[in-house]
């Protein structure tokens, strides 16, 4: 009798071992789950089955990975080493059993789940939309220590393997088949027969051939490793992100055995980066769970305004499976949004039939006929109170009884917008960030008097399109823009006092931001920066540098000139930064931190963790620091 695994032996003597981690919605490889698996192997040592097929008994997927909660509780380097040894030894044992083994993978198969599969002789991926395979440990600041660094390079070649392990990118069933990660990608209805057939085929396990095999040879490893280090260095410094460098080292010098270099392992597990990235993982889980508090289910989304935001919101919802009607003043105004949507579908779906289906789901609707069928109506027309009032008055009488009516406004007050409505209680803000496809966060805005159900429904909708919903109370700039405003203002004041923009940006990139604040202003548009400054900076005079550039008619990236010169969407010949003065980054980030603290104090955002989560997922704030408030408290503790 096992708690987590179910074992059946069929008439051919094949053992089918199905994982159903008790008390969890997804399969995880906790210590208990691994211990039971080890007992199964003991039993098979006594009576070898004709073959072993490992599968999931859960519809939520194959195996999501190790139990990260156990990881969070590690309090010594020794325990961390024990945890690594647990999976490393067990999967080495699985790889050495004399009977054939096969992982039948349907749904997500990540981290330890993929490492278990890699230790099997064969792998079959079921080709349905949920199947994704990868080793995302690096995103948590750790390394795939249960055999991933040893076996993935042996199966798909070191370059492809390092690419997956260093980026955390996942493959769907077909791409996994093409990469050689699985032996077969099959339709769900034939998966069991295919598994049986392959298991009994007697075929030798997949082996690397040709160039890929040579690349994994110890002579070639230093060259591949040097190339990989160079690639990583473009994106992450070893000081901020030690794990990717450790992955390369462990593959190159220890054939993937993390236990061979305890000092390196201890440094990784004990680093603040790892703790903070694990924290960010749990913050993300918390945001996801906030979207589960309502059973609201939508089928049809109607978006009004096919501009930068509305067009991309509509495309994103269609990509995620909704029927979407997109309204603007004319068909001509909708056309560019449809063209952008087609590009997005092409990039994300990479399957002509699926792309066509997504295009069919996105329906141009110049007369607004979709409103009365929609479960969610999002207003994204230009930022003008009168225009929005007029629109809301037309929309309201046509709404279905429990439909969500939402605005994407950045700077108008929900309280002012809803005066046009007869029933303002279901009106909420659903505030997306630009570019919609790239930004994971969506703020769900509650004004006083809003129905709690409307907010919960809005959060559920946001989660259903695979974004992270953050509940925020109505206040100027909500959370994300409110904290960015004083940060960008301070950066431009620093330009006024003589710091070159390139030095300011370099200081913040070195701090860990994905983009410096001056480059960010150029990217957002300097007209928008001026307007945001007016509403969010409490009436203080705008920075001189900003006004001079705007008065000269330059608006940043979109006009080819701002604080920087721009060509083809890139800064032309980035000016060299002068030496970064000590303390510059701290002085620039402090206003952001202080504003975040004030917003928590005022209850605009529920608590410090949610503020950190919002700022990380809404601005890209250095994840390895765990959020601005976490950064401050760690600094004060140090």
What tokens does 225 get?
A: 């490793």
Indicate which single residue of 310, 429, 533, 591 sits in contact with ligand NAI (rule: CB under 6 A).
310
- Collapsed DSSP state (helix, strand, coil) of residue 184: strand
Span of 44-52, 90-98, 382-390, 580-588 interacting with ligand NAI by CB under 6 A: 382-390
Decide: is 342 part of the binding site for ligand NAI (CB under 6 A). Answer: no
Query: Shortest Cβ distance from residue 387 to ligand NAI (Å)?
Result: 5
Span of 104-112, 155-163, 408-416, 458-466 interacting with ligand NAI by CB under 6 A: 408-416
Are 513 and 454 within 8 A, CB to CB? no
Span of 19-27, 95-103, 169-177, 377-385 interacting with ligand NAI by CB under 6 A: 377-385
Residue 455, CB half-sphere, CA atoms under 13 Å: how many?
16
Query: Shortest Cβ distance from residue 311 to ligand NAI (Å)?
Result: 7
Where b means 16+ CB within 10 Å and e means fewer, 285-304 reads: eebeebbebbebebebbbbb
Decide: is 382 part of the binding site for ligand NAI (CB under 6 A). Answer: yes
Decide: is 410 part of the binding site for ligand NAI (CB under 6 A). Answer: yes
Where b means 16+ CB within 10 Å and e means fewer, 69-97 reads: ebbeebeebeebbebbebbbebbeebbeb
Span of 99-107, 326-334, 469-477, 546-554 interacting with ligand NAI by CB under 6 A: 326-334
Sort 64 into a burial class: Cβ within 10 Å, 0-12 / 13-18 / 19+: buried
| CB count in 10 Å sphere of residue 8 | 9
Indicate which single residue of 119, 165, 304, 629 sits in contact with ligand NAI (rule: CB under 6 A).
304
Decide: is 387 part of the binding site for ligand NAI (CB under 6 A). Answer: yes
Residue nearest to ligand NAI (CB): 307
Query: Shortest Cβ distance from residue 503 to ligand NAI (Å)?
Result: 27
**Residues 55-84 vs ligand NAI: string with x where CB under 6 A?**
------------------------------
Residue 124, CB half-sphere, CA atoms under 13 Å: how many?
21
Decide: is 531 part of the binding site for ligand NAI (CB under 6 A). Answer: no
Sole residue written with tokens 């070893």: 238
| CB count in 10 Å sphere of residue 367 | 8
Where b means 16+ CB within 10 Å and e means fewer, 512-551 reads: bbeebbbbbbbbbbbebbbebbebbbeeeebbebbeebbe
Q: Which is nearer to ligand NAI, 209 or 329 (CB)?
A: 329
Query: Shortest Cβ distance from residue 20 to ligand NAI (Å)?
Result: 43
Indicate which single residue of 21, 27, 170, 409 sits in contact with ligand NAI (rule: CB under 6 A).
409
Span of 60-68, 374-382, 418-426, 453-461 interacting with ligand NAI by CB under 6 A: 374-382
Number of residues that bind ligand NAI (CB under 6 A): 23
Decide: is 530 part of the binding site for ligand NAI (CB under 6 A). Answer: no
Sole residue written with tokens 């600041």: 141
Query: Shortest Cβ distance from residue 388 to ligand NAI (Å)?
Result: 7
Decide: is 496 part of the binding site for ligand NAI (CB under 6 A). Answer: no
Decide: is 377 part of the binding site for ligand NAI (CB under 6 A). Answer: no
Decide: is 341 part of the binding site for ligand NAI (CB under 6 A). Answer: no
Q: Report d(CA 563, CA 577) in Å as an integer.
A: 14
Indicate which single residue of 329, 331, 402, 544 sits in contact with ligand NAI (rule: CB under 6 A).
329
Task: Give backbone dihedrals phi and psi of 564, rounded to 5 degrees, phi first.
Answer: -120, 165
Query: Shortest Cβ distance from residue 49 to ligand NAI (Å)?
Result: 58
Segment 194 to 253, residues that bind ligand NAI, using CB under 6 A:
none
Contacts of residue 236, defined as CB under 8 A and 6 or more positions apart, other chains included, come to 244
**Pairing, β 51-56 against β 28-29:** unpaired
Q: Which is nearer to ligand NAI, 27 or 410 (CB)?
A: 410
Q: Which of 4, 431, 499, 554 is catalytic?
A: 431
Q: Which is nearer to ligand NAI, 163 or 333 (CB)?
A: 333
Distances (CA, A) of 40 to 7, 33, 539: 9, 11, 69
Decide: is 618 part of the binding site for ligand NAI (CB under 6 A). Answer: no
Are 373 and 400 within 8 A, CB to CB? yes
Indicate which single residue of 434, 453, 535, 634 sits in contact with ligand NAI (rule: CB under 6 A).
434
Indicate which single residue of 20, 70, 383, 565 sits in contact with ligand NAI (rule: CB under 6 A).
383
Span of 268-276, 324-332, 552-560, 603-611 interacting with ligand NAI by CB under 6 A: 324-332
Query: Shortest Cβ distance from residue 431 to ligand NAI (Å)?
Result: 6
Query: Shortest Cβ distance from residue 303 to ligand NAI (Å)?
Result: 10
Decide: is 369 part of the binding site for ligand NAI (CB under 6 A). Answer: no
Span of 375-383, 437-445, 603-611, 615-623 interacting with ligand NAI by CB under 6 A: 375-383
- For 329-336, the CB contacts below 8 A with 24+ separation are 329/366, 330/366, 331/364, 331/366, 333/306, 334/306, 334/364, 334/365, 334/366, 335/364, 336/306, 336/311
Decide: is 327 part of the binding site for ligand NAI (CB under 6 A). Answer: yes
DSSP lists the bridge partners of residue 91 as none
Are 294 and 456 within 8 A, CB to CB? yes
Q: Which is nearer to ligand NAI, 367 or 568 (CB)?
A: 367
Span of 104-112, 202-210, 383-391, 563-571 interacting with ligand NAI by CB under 6 A: 383-391
Query: Shortest Cβ distance from residue 550 to ligand NAI (Å)?
Result: 17
Decide: is 542 part of the binding site for ligand NAI (CB under 6 A). Answer: no
The DSSP 8-state label assigned to residue 241 in this structure reads -
Indicate which single residue of 309, 362, 376, 392 sits in contact with ligand NAI (rule: CB under 6 A).
309
Segment 572 to 611, residues that bind ligand NAI, using CB under 6 A:
none
Are 153 and 162 within 8 A, CB to CB? yes
Let me know if 431 is a catalytic residue.
yes
Query: Which of 130, 134, 121, 233 is closest to 183 using CA atoms?
Result: 121
Are 563 and 524 within 8 A, CB to CB? no
Indicate which single residue of 220, 308, 475, 515 sits in contact with ligand NAI (rule: CB under 6 A).
308
* Angle between helical axes of 272-290 and 628-637 (0-180°, round to 10): 140
Are 35 and 72 within 8 A, CB to CB? no
Q: How many separate helices (H) and strands (E) can be counted in the chain? A: 27, 20
| Residues contributing to the site for ligand NAI (CB under 6 A) | 304-310, 327-329, 333, 380-383, 387, 391, 408-411, 432, 434
Q: Which residues are catalytic?
A: 431
């Amino acid at each position: 009798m096992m708690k987590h695994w179910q074992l059946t032996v069929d008439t051919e003597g094949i053992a089918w071992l199905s994982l159903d981690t008790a008390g969890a919605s997804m399969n995880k490889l906790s210590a208990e789950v691994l211990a039971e698996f080890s007992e199964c192997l003991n039993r098979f040592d006594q009576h070898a089955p004709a073959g072993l097929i490992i599968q999931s008994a859960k519809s939520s997927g194959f195996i999501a990975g190790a139990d990260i909660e156990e990881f969070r509780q590690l309090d010594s380097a020794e325990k961390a080493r024990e945890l690594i040894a647990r999976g490393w030894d067990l999967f080495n044992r699985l790889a050495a059993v004399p009977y054939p083994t096969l992982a039948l993978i349907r749904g997500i198969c990540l981290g330890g789940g993929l490492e278990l599969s890699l230790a099997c002789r064969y792998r079959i991926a079921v080709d349905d939309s949920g199947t994704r395979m990868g080793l995302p440990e690096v995103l948590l600041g750790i390394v795939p220590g249960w055999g991933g660094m040893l076996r993935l390079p042996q199966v798909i070649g070191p370059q492809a393997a390092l690419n997956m392990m260093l980026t955390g990118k996942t493959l769907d069933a077909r791409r996994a088949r093409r990469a050689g990660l699985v032996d077969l990608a099959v339709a769900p209805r034939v998966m069991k027969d295919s598994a049986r057939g392959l298991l009994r085929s007697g075929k030798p396990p997949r082996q690397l051939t040709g160039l890929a095999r040579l690349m994994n040879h110890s002579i070639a490893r230093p060259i591949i490793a040097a190339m990989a280090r160079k690639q990583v260095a473009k994106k992450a410094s070893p000081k901020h992100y030690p794990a990717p460098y450790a992955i390369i080292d462990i593959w190159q010098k220890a054939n993937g055995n993390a236990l061979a270099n305890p000092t390196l392992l201890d440094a990784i597990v004990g680093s603040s980066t790892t703790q903070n990235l694990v924290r960010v993982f749990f913050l993300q889980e918390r945001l996801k769970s906030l979207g589960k508090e309502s059973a609201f289910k939508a089928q049809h989304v109607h978006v009004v305004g096919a501009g930068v935001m509305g067009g991309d919101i509509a495309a994103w919802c269609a990509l995620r499976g909704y029927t979407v009607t997109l309204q603007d003043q004319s068909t001509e105004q909708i056309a560019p949004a449809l063209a952008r949507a087609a590009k997005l579908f092409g990039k994300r779906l990479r399957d002509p039939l699926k792309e066509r289906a997504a295009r069919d789901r996105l329906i141009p609707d110049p007369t607004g006929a979709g409103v009365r069928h929609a479960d969610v109506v999002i207003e994204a027309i230009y930022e003008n109170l009168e225009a929005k009032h007029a629109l809301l008055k037309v929309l309201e009488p046509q709404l279905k009884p429990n439909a969500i009516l939402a605005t994407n406004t950045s700077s108008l007050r929900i309280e002012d917008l809803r005066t046009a409505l007869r029933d303002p209680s279901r009106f909420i803000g659903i505030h997306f960030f630009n570019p919609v496809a790239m930004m994971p966060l969506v703020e769900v805005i509650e004004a006083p008097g809003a129905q709690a159900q409307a907010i919960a429904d809005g959060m559920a909708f946001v989660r259903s399109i695979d974004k992270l919903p953050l509940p925020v109370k109505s206040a100027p700039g909500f959370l994300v823009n409110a904290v960015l405003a004083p940060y960008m203002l301070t950066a431009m004041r620093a330009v006024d006092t003589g710091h070159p923009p390139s030095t300011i940006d370099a200081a913040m990139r070195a701090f860990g931001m994905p983009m410096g604040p001056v480059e960010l202003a150029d990217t957002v548009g300097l007209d928008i920066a001026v307007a945001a400054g007016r509403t969010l900076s409490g009436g203080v005079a705008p920075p001189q540098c900003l006004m001079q550039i705007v008065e000269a008619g330059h608006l940043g990236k979109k006009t080819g000139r701002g604080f920087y010169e721009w060509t083809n969407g890139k800064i032309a010949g980035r000016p060299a930064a002068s030496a970064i003065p000590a303390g510059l980054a701290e002085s620039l980030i402090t206003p952001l931190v202080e504003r975040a603290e004030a917003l928590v104090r005022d209850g605009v955002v529920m608590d410090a963790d949610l503020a950190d989560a919002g700022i990380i997922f809404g601005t890209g704030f250095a994840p390895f620091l765990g959020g601005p408030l976490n950064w401050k408290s760690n600094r004060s503790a140090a």
